[in-house]
Amino acid sequence: MEIFNATVADQVYGSIHDRNPSAQIRAFSGDQTPIGDKIMQYARGDDHIVLVSDGNSNYGVELADAVSVVSKTNTTVYLIDQTPDHNDVSVRIIGSKNVIIGNKNTFRIVVQQAGTHAAYELAVKVDDEVIYHSRIEQFDPVKVRPISHAFSTLGTHVISASITPEGDDHFQSNNAFDKSVYVVPKPAILLISDEESNLRDTVSDLYDVTVSSSGSAGFQEKYKAVILDDRYIESISPDDLDALRGFVSDGRGLLVVGGEKSYDRGGYLDSDFEKMLPVKSYPSEYYGMNDVVIVMDISASTFSEIVVGTGVTFLDYEKALVIDILDDKDFRDDRVGVVAFGGKAYEVSGLTYLDNDAARELLKETIMSIEPKGEITTTLDQGLAMAEEMLTNSAGAKDVIIVSDGNIDAGIYESSLSVADRMNNANTKMHFIHVMSSPTDLLTKFEELAHRVDGTYQQTTYPASVAISTAQPDAAPTPTPPPEEPGTYTVSVFTRKHFITEHLDLSATITGYNDVTSKLGAKRLVVTGEGKPIVCAWRYGLGRVVAWSTDNGGAWSSALYIGNNSQLISSVVNWVIGDPRSEEGVVIEADDVFLGDVCDITITSDTIPNMVFGGDTLDISRIAENTYKTSIDLDEEGVYYLSDYGIAVNYPIEYLDVGMNPDAEKVIQLHGGRVYNESETGMLLSDVKRRSVRTAYEPVSQKTPFILAALALFLIEVIARRVREITRRKGG
């Protein structure tokens, strides 16, 4: 935070305190930034928290988790987006700790800057030998440079990256980074295959492979993983299956490669063997080319009648329009989700495949049951942010349909534009439906927003229907149109947040695949353009299983085994293997740490290990069979050795992420907050004031006046009768 103006927090606090004397300021500093913890600590419910911070929470509860939790107690979190007074540049190295000898490994040198331009020299060394040196100009906040290297000797090696900035660089401590790497022998793998193939050639180059035509070689403990290449179910005997189940359950890996004799073509469906796999061997539903999210406005302004005297409200009309969209046959090949927003946004329904009649009818019933929240504020930005979140992992085209009466509150427009612009840049097509009592030629904020993000806009009045097209525009004509190739399928990464696909650069087509469906709990990692699973993974017992539902490269998928695409199969096998080291003797596992963090160490040994570090015997505790734990506290940067196992200690984690957290705005907007810059304190105060006034609609009983009136009439009648009776008696 020292790169920002230190007086901003006091200025913001002073402005808030002038209008709200009960406002309090809380400050913290040090080599760690536990923003999530602090939000949880100070949130009281029905209040507001203003963060004057870079938004980089590096210790304790994640920022997103904390903001989500406190939002459920009506605590709104805001962030002041600051421009740094100084630039700062940091460097780090990302890659595997345990690597295999002779295999080319890719490490990523990540350079971050707080400003908008930095020039520096980057040098990368392996054991003091320079393997890369270049002058770099950087205009993006983050630049990642992949560096490949193959180690030729076993044991610990150290990769070092250093930058020498030419201009403003506030901290020098984060200009160098060390990564310890432990090189191990090639792990043993059993490949069960009947033929030569690209798969066989690739894994034989990378690992110590034993090739067998059946499981008769035995699933011995020396093997880290087994690869089954296009096997009929009949080729797996009951004894082999039992042995394989035990092999994987004990912590080893299994990769099942498809082809003409496996999965849907090999009798796997409902077999005992299929129970181990992350897929079922029947065709997956076709999810079309579109994922669509409908965003509905249910704020207080939608309570009123759209046409006076009809009894039909704006919300009633919105529901009818959405139901009409769901019944449109053009959407049958799409997945559709629904979000509603009033004072806050919430998910009405996740993405649902509309060609499923039961699911579609259930979704329609859910929409008809939506009740207005009675909140005055129209939080369009929150609705858009939630739609953006729902579409994060969409493999096909993305569409968002916003149905609203068009009333955008002051202060909401800019934040709505920010989210919508971000979605537009991510190739999300946006459709704005303006529900109105009568058409107008005036340019509304709602229409202006649509034009600003290249969205479609249409007005509609009760009881007319609307027409929405989610068809993708035709490709631009080329001088010589390429001939269509029947039976080719583009494959792409579906889920990025996984070891296998995190840094994968995949660009390939295949000509065939096994039509399977991923199971609940499985990770769908690579898919075709139609969403068909190609690589799925899950855990089985202590082990790992991957379904590779195309072939070994012999007929369908040769492109997956060449060039950069071959990284996919090596990443898959590496994940299936897990720890490539031998389980014999004493095995040490410890991550590199940042200065100030405790280094936790796990030791696997058949006997109680005796570990000495710095001349002192470490206190070791047993946490499981043959597994022990200890820790060391390292107070200086450098590379330390426990036996022959290296542990690097780098600068404090506080200096890793520099500049404003690019994800903070999305997190805060998603849960009802806003992000303002230093000059927008007045808008922040207005927003806080508006949100402090909460309007709730509660049923009020009207029985009492009628009961009292009835009682009064009853008493009057009783008194009248009594008077008449007394009068009669006197007259008599």
Please give the average per-residue pLDDT across 51-76, as a whole number. Answer: 90
Confidence of residue 332 (pLDDT cuts 50, 70, 90): confident
Lowest mean pLDDT segment, chosen from 171-185, 483-497, 602-616: 483-497
Confidence of residue 710 (pLDDT cuts 50, 70, 90): confident
Residues in a beta bridge with 474 = none
Task: Measure the CA angle with vertex 222, ends 572 and 239; round to 5°.
Answer: 85
CATH of domain 188-284+487-577: 3.40.50.880
Closest Cα partner for 113 from 31, 52, 169, 160?
A: 169
Q: C-alpha distances in angstroms, 106 versus 95, 112, 188, 649, 672? A: 7, 19, 22, 21, 40
Phi, psi of 570 (to 5 degrees): -70, -40
Q: Who wins on pLDDT, 300 or 396?
A: 300
Centroid of chain to Cα 649: 29
CA 294, CA 311: separation in Å to the nearest integer? 25
pLDDT reported for residue 368: 87
What does the radius of gyration of the chain's CA atoms come to, in whole angstroms? 32
Centroid of chain to Cα 635: 35
pLDDT in tens, 241-278: 999 999 999 999 999 999 999 999 999 999 999 999 99
pLDDT reported for residue 638: 96
pLDDT in tens, 203-224: 999 999 999 987 656 788 889 9
Predicted confidence (pLDDT) at residue 473 exceeds the cutoff of 50: no
Mean pLDDT of the chain: 88
pLDDT reported for residue 479: 36
Count the alpha carbons within 13 Å of 697 in the hemisphere toward its beta carbon.
Answer: 10
Q: Long-range contacts of range 220-224, CB-CB < 8 Å, 24 or more positions apart?
A: 220/190, 221/583, 222/188, 223/188, 223/189, 223/190, 223/247, 223/252, 224/187, 224/188, 224/189, 224/252, 224/253, 224/577, 224/578, 224/580
**Residue type at 710?**
A
* Fold of the 8-84+660-692 domain: Rossmann fold (3.40.50)
pLDDT reported for residue 289: 57
DSSP state of 680: G
Q: What are the structural domain ranges in the chain? A: 8-84+660-692, 89-185, 188-284+487-577, 290-461, 587-641
Please give the average per-residue pLDDT across 321-347, as a whole number. Answer: 85
User: How buried is residue 129: exposed, middle or buried, by Cβ count under 10 Å (0-12/13-18/19+)?
Assistant: exposed
Q: C-alpha distances in angstroms, 485 versus 306, 369, 489, 616? A: 52, 47, 9, 68
Domains 8-84+660-692 and 89-185 share a fold: no
Is 222 in a helix, a strand, or coil?
coil
Torsion, Cα 324 327 329 335, to 10 degrees, reads: 100
Please give the average per-residue pLDDT across 578-596, as a whole number. Answer: 91
pLDDT in tens, 416-445: 999 999 999 988 999 999 999 888 888 899
Phi, psi of 235 (to 5 degrees): -80, -5
Predicted confidence (pLDDT) at residue 478 exceeds the cutoff of 60: no
Closest Cα partner for 151 from 208, 94, 101, 187?
A: 101
pLDDT reported for residue 22: 83
* Fold of the 89-185 domain: Immunoglobulin-like (2.60.40)
| The pTM of the whole model exceeds 0.75 | no
Residues in a beta bridge with 456 = 431
Please give the average per-residue pLDDT across 615-637, as a whole number. Answer: 93
* Fold of the 290-461 domain: Rossmann fold (3.40.50)
Count the alpha carbons within 13 Å of 297 in the hemisphere toward its beta carbon.
Answer: 31
